[in-house]
Chain A
Amino acid sequence: MKKLIYFAMSVLMLNVAQAQTKETTEADKIIGVWEVGSGKARVKISKYGEKFGGKLVWLKEPNYADGTKKVDKNNPDEAKRTVPLLGYTNLLGFSYKGKSEYEGGTIYDPENGNTYNCVISLEDDNTIKVRGYVGVQIFGRTDTWKRVTVKTK
């Protein structure tokens, strides 16, 4: 009888683990390096706990005309205006809601220092649509990002 209970519990735990793995696998499809629609930047999306976020890992123009590295000079918070843009976390707090959609996050635009509400949808494994908006989604714009693979040397 004990063996039967152990067996039933094992099967149950395995099913739960498999379901969680499937959900995790689907959600994790967003992890990787993405190039923004304008081709001016690349963003690396990672998982932080249960949420997803991303940081700038490449800029087409990483330096100012005088050769110094670009910083977040447009940030409304004066204390953050010396933070380098390369490595800056510009996507924050995305949760996977199923059906290839990620919600509840924000996107920061260093070009004007604005932070927008944001939703991301996975079009296919290598294409995401990132919509930044103000308040309601109608006041926003969608950008299509393409996955890029880092060349191995």
Chain B
Amino acid sequence: MNFKLLLVPTLFSTIALAQTKPDSTKTEEEDFSMYAEVVEAPSNSKTKVYCSQKIVGLSPSKLISFGGDFVAAHTLGVDTINNYANNTTNLLNNTGVRFAANFPVISNNKMILSLGVNYLDFKYGIANTSAITNPLPHALSKTGLRSYGVNGTLFKPFNAKMFGIVQFAADHNSASYLNEFNAKLGLKYSGAIIIGWKPHERLQYGFGVSQTYRGGSLNYLPVVLYNYTFKNKKCGIEMLLPARANFRYTINPRNLLFAGLEFEGNSYYMKPMITDFNLGSNNLQLHRSEIRPRITYEFRVHNFIWMSLQAGYRISYKFNIDDVATDTPPLIMENKLAGAPYVNISLNLVSP
């Protein structure tokens, strides 16, 4: 009796010990053809197949990004405003700090909801600040341009081939210090709605509309999403028009090269122009818009930490001042910001 009682657990433990941890690199000689013919087991949960947010070969999306811009010396042709004369201001450089974080709050087969924050801080280096007389260079020199805000993106697959994307953002854009928050004049809201299709694992495309400040002032523009990886999986196109378009070359999954352009812009509340000068307006907005053709090299530094090195040319599309309060005339300063080469470097935590 004693012997039998002891025998049972001993037998179980022997069987358990006989099984060992698998070696991830060792593939057993096994006939896998039997797994080709299967039937789906009945399930209580109403699960169906949904398309994923990504396509094969797509560059990794950035969860956290911290970086900086450096634009080389260029000129700013400043228009006349009131009795302040026009002039050409020499800018030694234009530096920018960029931080963005996006957190996937909900992430499963049925939907992905990401919420994020972003911060941009542009400084304008002017050689002889004591000689500045025009209000615009004064504002740029004093505070620079600053944006900070929150954003959210909802990716909602409807089935295995079709999906929808809803984006929204609320940004405070101004020439002011960080503690000078002005909801009425500084806050700008933008968003987009896209309906898309994913016919196969190497292609997704979509169409929609956006409310955007990329052109400097408020616009409603059509949106085209197009992500494609060629059959050889070495090349691809990543496009979200009008924001950006890139041709991608995959050296290997940890080293990517891009050639393309970005369309960037916003509208900024120019506080120092109003408070430091008597211009007869309470709401002067700088409509800044620029196109940046560039090449980018992105590579993995360690695990999910990637670095991005970018070089290109900044072409200014708009750098005008508008009196939004009166809206007559439409623009009170039409300025000419010269093009200049630029570099950008950023460190990123990328999505799994």
Contacts and interface: CB of A to CB of B under 8 A. Distances in A.
Contacts of B23: 89
Contact of A55 (B22, B47, B252): B22
Contacts of A50: 16
B34 to A, nearest CB: 5
B22 A113 contact: no
Most chain A C-beta atoms within 10 Å of own C-beta, residue among B9, B22, B231: B22
A43 to B, nearest CB: 10
B44 interface: yes
A65 B234 CA distance: 14
A132 B34 CA distance: 28
Contact of B43 (A53, A80, A127): A127
A44 to B, nearest CB: 7
Nearest to A57: B35
B60 to A, nearest CB: 8
Contacts of A141: 104, 107-108, 112, 351-352
Interface residues of A, number: 67
Nearest to B17: A49
A113 to B, nearest CB: 6
A134 B352 contact: yes
Given A140-B107, A141-B107, A148 B5 contact: no
Contacts of A129: 108
A150 B20 contact: no
A99 interface: no
Contacts of A49: 16-17, 19-21
Interface in A48-81: 48-51, 53, 55, 57-58, 65, 72, 74, 76, 80
A150 B35 contact: yes
19 contacts: A10-B1, A13-B9, A37-B50, A38-B201, A39-B160, A42-B35, A48-B22, A49-B21, A76-B254, A87-B30, A113-B253, A114-B304, A123-B47, A127-B47, A139-B352, A143-B109, A147-B40, A149-B38, A149-B40
Given A72-B25, A127-B45, 13 more contacts: A33-B38, A37-B109, A49-B19, A58-B32, A89-B22, A89-B24, A92-B21, A126-B44, A139-B351, A146-B43, A147-B43, A150-B35, A151-B39
